C-alpha cells in the first residue's frame, strides 16, 4: 500500500514476520481508517506496516490484503473485514475500484479461479488460475505437472517456483520474454505477455512451503504483464476478467 504516512493505532495483534514473493520483513499490525479515491472510507480496518523490509521486486510500505478467504489463525486481510466482493484494476487509466456488487456480468466469459487453499493448504485463497501454456523466450515450457498462475498486483514481474526456475534459467540463458495463457470458461484463449526492455520484467525464484513440489508448479504474474489491461476479480464467484481496451 503506497501513500501510507504513519496513520493508525496499535491493534490487538502482535508483530509478525511476513514473507511475500516481492518483499518480506517484520510487520506491525495496526487498525485505522482506509480511504479509496477520497470518496469511500472503511473504518476500523486492521492492516500491516513494515518495520523492516527486504525488497524482492516490490516496494509497498503497508499491507492491506486484497484476498477475501483465509485461515482463521493468520492476520486478517482487508477484504475479509469488508463486504467487498469485486475489484477492478484499470492499468490503462491508473484507476482502482472496489465494489460490494458484481463487476463481471453473468453473461460475460471469464477465466475461472481456483482455490488452492482447499486443494493444497495455501494460507489464503489467492487469485490463481490454471495455466494453459507458459512460453519463455518464444519456446513453450513443457512439464509433467500442472502450472498455476497467481495474479499479484503487488509484484512487479515474474516469480517462479524454485523447482522450475533454475531448470528454465539454464535453458533460457536469460529472460527475454514470457507469455502466460489461460482458457476461459467458454474455451477461449487469453494471454498475458511481458518482455525486455521493460524494467518491471524481473524474473526471480520463489518458494511456497504449502505447495507440494511433486504436485504442481506455481508462477506469480505481476504488473509487467498487466500494463495496458483492465483486470477485474470477483472473489465471491471466483472469476477473473482480463481485457485489453481497443486503441
What phi and psi values does residue 160 have, to the nearest 5 degrees? -130, 135
**Residue 112: which residues within 8 A CB-CB, separation 6 or more?**
129, 130, 184, 185, 238, 239, 240
d(CA 62, CA 64): 7
**pLDDT at residue 73 in the model:** 76
Share of the chain above pLDDT 90, in %: 64
**pLDDT at residue 30 in the model:** 92
Q: What is the mean pLDDT of the chain?
A: 90
Q: Is the per-residue pLDDT at 1 higher than 50? A: no
The helix/strand/coil state of 118 is: helix
Record the pTM.
0.88
Of residues 79 and 130, more confidently modeled: 130
CB 185 within 8 A of CB 109: yes
What's the rounded mean pLDDT across residues 83-100?
92
**pLDDT at residue 7 in the model:** 75
The overall longest dimension of the chain from CA atoms, in Å, is 51
What's the rounded mean pLDDT across residues 165-184?
94
Per-residue pLDDT band for 180 (boundaries 50, 70, 90) equals very high
What's the rounded mean pLDDT across residues 13-23?
87
Q: Which of 31-40, 66-75, 114-123 has the highest mean pLDDT?
A: 114-123
Which domains does the chain show, CATH number per domain?
9-64 (no CATH), 111-243 (2.40.70.10)
pLDDT per residue over 188-244, tens digit each?
999 999 999 999 999 999 999 999 989 999 999 999 999 999 999 999 999 999 998
CB 216 within 8 A of CB 148: yes
Q: Is the per-residue pLDDT at 111 higher than 60? A: yes
Of residues 23 and 147, more confidently modeled: 147
Of residues 62 and 131, more confidently modeled: 131
Alpha-carbon distance values, 138 to 48, 119, 156, 157 (Å): 40, 31, 21, 17
What's the rounded mean pLDDT across residues 135-144?
95
**Nine-digit cell at 52?**
523492516
Is omega for the bond preceding 174 within 30 degrees of 0, making it cis? Answer: no
Q: Is the per-residue pLDDT at 116 higher than 80? A: yes
Q: Is the per-residue pLDDT at 39 higher than 80? A: no
Amino acid at each position: 500500500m503506497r501513500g501510507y504516512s504513519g496513520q493508525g493505532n496499535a491493534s490487538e495483534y502482535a508483530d509478525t514476520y511476513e514473507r511475500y514473493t516481492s518483499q518480506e520483513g517484520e510487520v506491525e499490525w495496526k487498525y485505522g481508517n482506509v480511504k479509496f479515491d477520497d470518496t469511500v472510507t472503511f473504518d476500523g480496518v486492521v492492516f500491516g506496516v513494515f518495520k523492516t523490509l527486504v525488497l524482492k521486486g516490490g516496494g509497498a510500505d503497508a499491507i492491506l490484503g486484497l484476498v477475501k478467504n483465509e485461515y482463521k489463525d493468520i492476520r486478517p486481510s482487508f477484504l475479509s473485514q469488508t463486504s467487498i466482493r469485486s475489484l477492478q484494476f484499470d492499468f490503462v487509466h491508473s484507476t482502482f475500484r472496489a465494489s460490494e456488487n458484481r463487476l463481471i456480468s453473468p453473461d460475460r466469459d471469464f477465466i475461472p479461479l481456483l482455490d488452492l487453499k482447499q486443494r493444497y493448504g495455501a494460507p489464503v485463497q489467492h487469485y490463481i488460475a490454471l495455466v494453459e501454456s507458459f512460453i519463455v523466450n518464444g519456446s513453450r515450457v513443457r512439464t509433467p505437472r500442472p502450472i498455476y498462475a497467481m495474479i499479484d498486483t503487488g509484484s512487479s514481474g515474474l516469480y517462479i517456483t524454485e523447482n522450475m526456475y533454475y531448470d528454465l534459467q539454464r535453458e533460457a540463458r536469460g529472460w527475454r520474454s514470457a507469455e502466460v495463457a489461460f482458457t476461459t470458461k467458454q474455451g477461449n484463449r487469453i494471454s498475458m505477455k511481458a518482455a525486455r526492455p521493460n524494467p518491471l520484467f524481473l524474473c526471480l525464484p520463489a518458494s511456497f512451503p504449502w505447495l507440494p513440489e511433486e504436485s504442481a508448479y506455481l508462477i506469480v504474474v505481476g504488473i509487467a504483464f498487466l500494463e495496458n489491461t483492465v483486470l477485474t476479480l470477483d472473489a465471491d464467484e471466483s472469476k477473473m476478467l482480463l481485457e485489453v481496451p481497443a486503441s
